[in-house]
Amino acid sequence: MTRVPMSQILEAARQLSGLSVPELWWAYVVLGGTASPQDVEGFLAGSLHPDRAQYDRLAQALNDRFTDLGQNHPVPYFESGL
């Protein structure tokens, strides 16, 4: 199976969610994310790689947003074999 890079999943989900990068960063920090806005940009661009804790908080921030949009957790979490 071809693995889709985490950054592509996050960035595609971010675009679909309608969140700007600063909005996503803010939601992620509220969930306990500790990376800087610049690092989050790097995670989305694929130039930096988040660890599991940071990835899952970004995925959760996006999924929280998708809950508002009527979708049930479309962004996969780290443990699901990314």
Residues that bind other proteins (CB under 8 A): 20, 26, 29-32, 53, 56-57, 60, 63-64, 67-68, 72-73, 77, 79
19 vs 66: CA distance, rounded Å: 10
Q: What are the tokens at 75?
A: 């962004």
Q: How far is the CB of 62 from other proteins (least distance, A)?
A: 11
Output the smallest distance, CB 46 to other proteins, in A.
Answer: 23
- 2 or 68: whose CB is closer to other proteins? 68
Place of tokens 């599991």: 52
**Which helix (H) or strand (E) is 8 found in, with range?**
helix 6-17
We find the least distance from the C-beta atom of residue 30 to other proteins, in angstroms, to be: 5
CA distance 39 to 36: 5
Of the pair 15, 20, the CB lying nearest other proteins is at 20
Instruction: With CA atoms as reference, report the closest residue to 54 among 10, 22, 8.
Output: 10
Considering the complex, state which of residue 4 and residue 31 has its C-beta at the smaller distance from other proteins.
Answer: 31
